[in-house]
A and B are shown apart, each in its own frame.
Chain A
Amino acid sequence: MAPTIHYYCPCQSGESVQMPPPPHMASSSASFHPLHSLFFCEECDAVRCNRCVSIEVSGYYCPNCLFEVPSASVRAEKNRCARNCFSCPICRSTLQVVASDPPDGGDGRPSVSLSNVGEPPFFLYCNHCRWDSAEVGITFEKPTGLAGTPLPLPISLHLIIYLTAQLQKFEDSAPESLEFERLKEHFEPFLRTSSLSSLSHVPSTSSHHLPTSSATAAASAALARDVPGVGKYNPLTRSRVGRDRTANKDEMPEYKSRMEISILGQLGSEGDGSDVEALRRMEIAEEIASLEQRWGNSWTTSLRTSDLRPLRIPLHSKVSKRCPTCRHILIKPEQKAQSVRYKIKLVAANYLPAMTAALPHTQGADATRRPQAKVPSASDDRNAGAMTAGKSYPFHLALTNPLYDPIQVRLSVQRMHVTAVTDSTAPEKARRTPFAVSLPTSSFPVAAFAEAWEYDDDDEMFGLEDDELGLEMGRTRDKDGKGKVKTVGVLEKRANVTVVGGEVVIGKEARGHVKFNMLVSYTYRSDDPLPSEDGVGTPSRAAVAKTPEVKTFTFYTVVDLGPILPREEKVDPDI
């Protein structure tokens, strides 16, 4: 496993505490994120993550036909694609419209063809699990009036749209759905009047809110009537109390359900006799639809796989994201559904220095490996990347500056972490012995990002890269041989990247991962607060100050250098 560096978003901690949780706790992973998934609010001068931003839907589209659905029709179509997009009820892949085999299919032509000579019964076919809609009796005939038309595709499409409507109608005509609609209808005028009156209503002495109580009272009265098991005393007494107090606005007509609840129970599939019978006669487990196959349905459906119907594909949405505190937009996508551009995109990667960690002793192993093993396999990495307890290892941190100004960076290992570890070692001494991390203590510069570095990397970087790599390899070899090279401090600078070295000394009984919180603070000069450049600083402050100004931004990261191997005596006899 390669070393990772994740960045801290303070949204999980309280207002006062800005310290990240100790890294060895499993719960701390919720507060740390990879840099590329974070946002940066210029107004608040703070990092934001996907957990804390507020999200607004800016558009809906079908993930299959990529049609952008106007938000007005999304609700009417129940958040599903109303065109010819269906997913397989068995495996959820997309269904395809196919024609039947020609009658003389002796030439071995595949049946999956959109040929002009498609035979009448069209059906939906799953390319993955080979389910087809003919199994459940959904086929499409050509309408007789259009039999002579030489264009079968539009006809079948027309039929598919019909099927879409049918499926939605089927869904809408489910007894539960109708009952729900009826209930909503029934309560709507009441809720409206009660909400109106509650505005003018003087708060009464009763502990519960009256409109709510009368609404629930009416609902529970209906429930008490329809469901035989529910006792009548509780809801009715309460509703009588409510009625006494607010006699004028509790004139609720009695709700009449569409049908008796007992009939509903028979229509549904909630564990009644026929299901038991089906289970009794079941021969293969696949006869019963899995939970995954059923829970996408709006209402309860039959347990049997043979009763599953093709599903209309749920829509996806594009979202814009806002800062949770100042409401400024952080992400605003382009209107077009499949565009990957953004009108506004304030991601943390454009503000904070990107950091990567590396362990030179694993790189040495990589470099000396045969060129055949180009892709370092996971199993190799696991052994090569691990550190043995009781030894010390150098590590490299590469910082890349995304800003157009040079920055001064200071790194420090979070002090709280050390105390936390010693605290935890007190009760369980054997299990968690700390490791000591040394980092360069003075601040070091990282050069400004220049577009030029981005573009001429292909031609000029080659020679440079070779030199650097050779240098680095030489250094690692030295270390492997003697281990008496400077490890802590600035190791190299190129373009907008600075590599610093650190060292970790692992205790003899250490277990788990070498994982520590690191405080990074960087100072930058925002000397020209132009609108195009003000991404560098907080615009409110930058606008005021026209003179060169030095600002500091501080953030926490967690560095995971990899697992610690328990000490093996035979591996290092010199200790």
Chain B
Amino acid sequence: MDAPVYYSKAEFIETDTGNKVSRRATIAGPQNIILGGKTIISSGAIIRGDLRRTGPGHAVVISLGRYCLVGEGCVMRPPYKTYRGNFNYYPMKIGDYVHIGANSVVEAATIGNHVVIGKNCVIGKFTIIKDCAHVADNTVIPPNTVIPALALFVGSPGRFVEDLPESTQEMVESQTKQYYSRFQPLER
């Protein structure tokens, strides 16, 4: 029913698992980034997979689940801190069915499944967002905040406003799936 969202076929790379990554997105350190499949990285997004934990061996810096959307102009950057005198980056884990609106800056440690983050948000370092939470547009979440499951956070600083309905999980799931199927190439 909903109108398709068209993108120019030349701009996006589609992987075998259905990820669609814009050529205009800045993907730093792609070997450290995991996309779960059917995830869309919009143009202008910056994903800093290069900010990895110091030390030998392979390290996953940013992992995204299935049916995620990283909006236009988003910045995804792993959180960092100095612990015991050593500066270090820490991995960022994002679940399935997570939509992040345009121009948001995300430095969360963990984002659960079925989470919706609005446009122009700032998600502070080491924020933990549980399942089915919703961060409204233009919200600033200070570092180290915990957002409980099924909570709506609004404002600057983002504060709990209300509990979301019990059917949030199904709604977000169908919306994110629908968005992926609407996101169609336009041959030119």
Chain A residues with a Cβ under 8 A of chain B: 36-37, 50, 61, 63-66, 91-94, 96, 109-110, 113-117, 126-129, 316, 331, 337-340, 342, 345, 347, 349, 356, 358, 363, 366-367, 371, 374-375, 396, 398, 457-458, 461-462, 465-466, 469, 497, 499
Q: Mark B143-167, 1 if CB is under 8 A from A, else 0.
A: 1111011110000111110000111
Assess whether B184 is interfacial by the CB under 8 Å rule: yes
Residues of A within 8 A of B130 (CB): 66, 338
Q: Which of B1, B38, B130, B143 has the most CB of A within 10 A?
A: B1
Question: Is B142 touching A110 in the complex (CB atoms < 8 A)?
Answer: no
Residues of B within 8 A of A116 (CB): 84-85
Residues of B within 8 A of A345 (CB): 166-167
Question: Is B184 touching A113 in the complex (CB atoms < 8 A)?
Answer: no
Question: Is A115 touching B82 in the complex (CB atoms < 8 A)?
Answer: yes
Residues of B within 8 A of A466 (CB): 184
What is the CA–CA distance of A331 and B167 in the complex, to the nearest angstrom?
A: 11
Question: Is A339 touching B145 in the complex (CB atoms < 8 A)?
Answer: no
Q: Which of A116, A128, A342 has the most CB of B within 10 A?
A: A128
Residues of B within 8 A of A347 (CB): 165-167
A92-B171 contact, Cβ under 8 Å, with A116-B84, A127-B124, A340-B131 = no
Assess whether B36 is interfacial by the CB under 8 Å rule: no
Residues of B within 8 A of A115 (CB): 82-85
Question: Is B3 touching A338 in the complex (CB atoms < 8 A)?
Answer: no
A338-B5 contact, Cβ under 8 Å, with A94-B145, A128-B142, A466-B184 = no
Residues of A within 8 A of B5 (CB): 374
Question: Is A94 touching B169 in the complex (CB atoms < 8 A)?
Answer: no
Question: Is B181 touching A465 in the complex (CB atoms < 8 A)?
Answer: yes
Question: Is B7 touching A499 in the complex (CB atoms < 8 A)?
Answer: no
Assess whether B30 is interfacial by the CB under 8 Å rule: no
Question: Is B167 touching A371 in the complex (CB atoms < 8 A)?
Answer: no
Min CB gap A58→B, angstroms: 13
Question: Is A66 touching B148 in the complex (CB atoms < 8 A)?
Answer: yes
What is the CA–CA distance of A398 and B178 in the complex, to the nearest angstrom?
A: 15
What is the CA–CA distance of A66 and B184 in the complex, to the nearest angstrom?
A: 40
**Which of the residues B3, B72, B102, B181 comes within 8 Å of A458, measured between beta carbons?**
B181
**Which of the residues A127, A349, A366, A374 comes within 8 Å of B167, measured between beta carbons?**
A349
What is the CA–CA distance of A109 and B85 in the complex, to the nearest angstrom?
A: 9
Residues of A within 8 A of B21 (CB): none
Q: Which of B42, B71, B124, B149 has the most CB of A within 10 A?
A: B149
Residues of A within 8 A of B165 (CB): 36-37, 50, 347
Instruction: Give the number of residue pairs across the A-B interface with Cβ within 8 Å.
Output: 123
What is the CA–CA distance of A129 and B132 in the complex, to the nearest angstrom?
A: 28
A94-B142 contact, Cβ under 8 Å, with A128-B157, A356-B1, A458-B18 = yes
Min CB gap B31→A, angstroms: 27
What are some 28 contacts across the A-B interface (CB < 8 A)?
Answer: A37-B167, A50-B165, A92-B159, A94-B142, A94-B144, A94-B145, A110-B82, A113-B83, A116-B84, A117-B85, A126-B142, A127-B144, A128-B140, A128-B142, A316-B148, A331-B166, A338-B131, A338-B148, A340-B114, A349-B167, A371-B8, A374-B7, A375-B71, A458-B18, A458-B38, A465-B4, A465-B184, A499-B1
**Nearest A-chain residue to B124, judged by Cβ:** A127
**Which of the residues A114, A128, A339 comes within 8 Å of B149, measured between beta carbons?**
A339
What is the CA–CA distance of A462 and B130 in the complex, to the nearest angstrom?
A: 32
Residues of B within 8 A of A91 (CB): 157
Residues of A within 8 A of B3 (CB): 363, 366-367, 469
Question: Is B157 touching A92 in the complex (CB atoms < 8 A)?
Answer: yes
- Supplied contacts A337-B148, A347-B167, A461-B181, 8 more A-B pairs, CB within 8 Å: A36-B165, A65-B146, A110-B82, A113-B82, A339-B149, A371-B8, A374-B6, A497-B1
**Nearest A-chain residue to B182, judged by Cβ:** A465
Assess whether B23 is interfacial by the CB under 8 Å rule: no
What is the CA–CA distance of A71 and B44 in the complex, to the nearest angstrom?
A: 49
Min CB gap B26→A, angstroms: 18
**Nearest A-chain residue to B6, judged by Cβ:** A371
What is the CA–CA distance of A366 and B2 in the complex, to the nearest angstrom?
A: 10
Residues of B within 8 A of A128 (CB): 140, 142, 156-157
